[in-house]
């Protein structure tokens, strides 16, 4: 089996399944596990977002979506040369990765395209199972799902009966976006309530005035596509009247893969430090920590 993964979460899952050697091509955003670095890159963003501010990225994305152009360039020639049997991508978000529709002219005729589009934690687990079935790794896939569920249950049980903290998870900074899809579920498991996020629904644009009017006790900045350092640079100058913590949204919140369980552990510790041990994930305080 020869696989091209255009989806970072799928790349993580394939590696967890023990099939990293089957990956012959990846997207530019596929950076975990480290062993995938150096594999042929078959798709990349047309704009270098790493040098842009949060608001500049938002403007660039809106302009691209407005004129109907793709944010990503697909290297059809390299894909053809790699001759994959399977190409894994998604149709959930046009901003996050190449969609299956964009592969229509780039995909080799003989390659199967598998789209993974989970919107809840349960669907994330099912996407692991689905990929495992397709790659003939059912037993290992079930092990991954069970381990993920066990880690989630540990946090849920640790915070059971404790006061639920009101928080806002920002999936973008300027302008702020509410959390969506599986993130509000993560907050609930960690013993919190997301004041604006809606589970199973897309994130939406909001304003910091609306956020503060919802009266959160804590703001978690988990910017999609950025690690904690990258998000911190873009949050510099943001003034809030409530405590705020910047985390690695790219690794532990945005990608529908088993590491979401680690994100839940981090949320659990930030909300209930006496109940949930610090998992040691990257985090930066923008304001004073939550008064516990």
Q: Could you report the per-residue pLDDT of 195-249, keeping only the tens digit for each? A: 999 999 999 999 999 999 999 999 999 999 899 999 999 998 888 999 999 999 9
Q: Do residues 86 and 96 make contact, with C-beta atoms less than 8 angstroms apart? A: no
Residue 57 has pLDDT above 90, yes or no: no
Q: Per-residue pLDDT averaged across 117-124, rounded?
A: 95
Cβ partners under 8 Å of residue 182, min gap 6: 118, 119, 120, 121, 123, 124, 199, 256, 260
Q: What is the mean pLDDT of the chain?
A: 88
Spatial separation of the C-alpha atoms in residues 95 and 62, rounded to whole Å: 10
Lowest model confidence (mean pLDDT) among 13-17, 48-52, 65-69, 115-119 = 65-69
Residue 182 has pLDDT above 90, yes or no: yes
| % pLDDT > 70, the chain | 84
Residue 91 has pLDDT above 80, yes or no: no
Which pLDDT value is given to residue 53? 72
Which pLDDT value is given to residue 98? 58
Q: pLDDT band for 111, please (50, 70, 90 cuts).
A: confident
Which pLDDT value is given to residue 73? 76
Which pLDDT value is given to residue 118? 93
What is the DSSP track for the chain?
Answer: --EEE--HHHHHHHHHTT-GGGEEEEETT---SGGGTTSPEEEEESS-GGGS-HHHHHHHHHHHHHTT--SEEE-HHHHHHH--SEEEE-SS-TTTS--TGGGTTTS-TT-EEEE----SHHHHHHHHHHHHHHTT-HHHHHHHHHHHHHHHHHHHHHHTTSPPEEEEEESEETTEE---TTHHHHHHHTTEEESS--TTS---B--HHHHHHT--SEEEE--TT--HHHHHHHHTT---SS-EEEE-HHHHTSS-STTHHHHHHHHHHHH-TTTS------EEESSPPP--
The model's pTM is 0.90
Q: Which residue has the tokens 């059971």?
A: 160
Q: Which CATH superfamily is 161-285 part of?
A: Nitrogenase molybdenum iron protein domain (3.40.50.1980)
Which pLDDT value is given to residue 291? 40
Same fold, 3-117 and 161-285: yes
The fold of 3-117 is Rossmann fold (3.40.50)
Residue 74 has pLDDT above 60, yes or no: yes
Q: Where are the domains of the chain?
A: 3-117, 161-285
Q: pLDDT band for 68, please (50, 70, 90 cuts).
A: low
């Amino acid at each position: 089996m020869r696989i091209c993964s255009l989806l970072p979460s799928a790349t993580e899952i394939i590696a967890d399944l023990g099939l990293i050697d089957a990956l012959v091509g990846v997207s530019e955003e596929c950076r975990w596990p480290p062993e995938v670095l150096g594999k042929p890159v078959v798709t990349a963003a047309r704009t270098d977002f790493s040098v842009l501010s949060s608001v500049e990225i938002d403007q660039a994305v809106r302009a691209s979506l407005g004129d109907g152009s793709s944010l990503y360039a697909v290297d059809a020639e390299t894909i053809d040369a790699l001759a994959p049997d399977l190409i894994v991508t998604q149709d959930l978000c046009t901003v996050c990765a190449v969609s299956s529709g964009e592969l229509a002219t780039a995909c080799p005729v003989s390659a199967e395209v598998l789209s993974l589009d989970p919107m809840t934690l349960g669907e994330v687990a099912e996407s692991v199972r689905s990929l495992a079935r397709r790659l003939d790794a059912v037993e290992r896939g079930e092990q991954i799902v069970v381990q993920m569920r066990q880690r989630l249950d540990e946090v849920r049980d640790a915070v059971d009966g404790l006061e639920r903290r009101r928080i806002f998870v920002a999936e973008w900074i300027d302008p702020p976006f509410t959390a969506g899809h599986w993130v509000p579920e993560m907050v609930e498991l960690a013993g919190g309530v997301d004041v604006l996020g809606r589970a199973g629904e897309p994130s939406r644009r909001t304003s910091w005035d609306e956020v503060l009017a919802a009266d959160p006790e804590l703001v978690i900045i988990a910017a999609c596509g950025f690690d904690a350092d990258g998000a911190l640079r873009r949050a510099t100058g943001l003034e809030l009247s409530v405590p705020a913590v910047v985390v690695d949204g790219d690794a532990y919140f945005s990608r529908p893969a088993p590491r979401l369980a680690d994100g839940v552990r981090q949320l659990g510790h930030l909300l209930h430090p006496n109940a949930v041990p610090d998992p040691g994930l990257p985090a930066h305080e923008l304001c004073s920590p939550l008064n516990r």
